[in-house]
Amino acid sequence: MNGTAHAVSLDRDRSLLYVLREELGLTGTKYGCGEGECGACKVLLDGVAVRACKTPIGEAVGHSVTTIEGLATGDRLHPVQQAFVDASAFQCGFCIPGMIIATVSLLAQNPRPDEAEIRAALDGNLCRCCGYVRILEAVRMASALSPGRGPRGATR
């Protein structure tokens, strides 16, 4: 979990979201719907965005999980986080961790997505303030800054 091994004693069917928020206190990952419709709970599982509310903890055992708390290095933000700050791409901010995780996952697989690819990758993430226009700007900025490296440093 964010580079540290954790031992938890739990039913394997418990959701990853529950373990993150309630057992490990990692509350940056949000509950929005519990049925995989809103994307607020997205985390990276081995570098790929998954919905933590629909991921049983058993599926994460032995794998690398990165949450929104694990992206920055101290005060140095991940380029995608920095792009969201630079674009002021947030209103209430509740959906933003999931948006950033989805963007990191997208750019790791496709560092230069076109408009349709960005929208397709983020379509499972809801923003009810409907700040979609500025979020799209942030993703474009992040893509322009992206060296084409994934979260684990794999060059594509």
Cβ–Cβ under 8 Å, residues 23 and 8: yes
List the Cα angle 89/17/146 in 5-degree steps.
Answer: 40
- Using an 8 Å Cβ cutoff, are 71 and 104 in contact? yes
**Minimal distance in Å, beta carbon 153 to another protein?**
20
The binding track of 90-129 with respect to another protein, each residue x by CB under 8 A or -, is xxxxxxxx--x-----------------xx--xx-xxxxx
Site for another protein in 36-95 (CB under 8 A): 37-38, 40, 67-69, 71-72, 77, 81-82, 84-85, 88, 90-95
What are residue 15's DSSP bridge partners? 56
Q: How many CB atoms lie within 10 A of CB 7?
A: 4
Q: Is the dihedral of CA 119, 144, 82, 41 positive or negative?
A: positive
Under rule CB under 8 A, residue 140 binds another protein = no
Binding site for another protein (CB under 8 A): 18, 21-22, 25-35, 37-38, 40, 67-69, 71-72, 77, 81-82, 84-85, 88, 90-97, 100, 118-119, 122-123, 125-134, 136
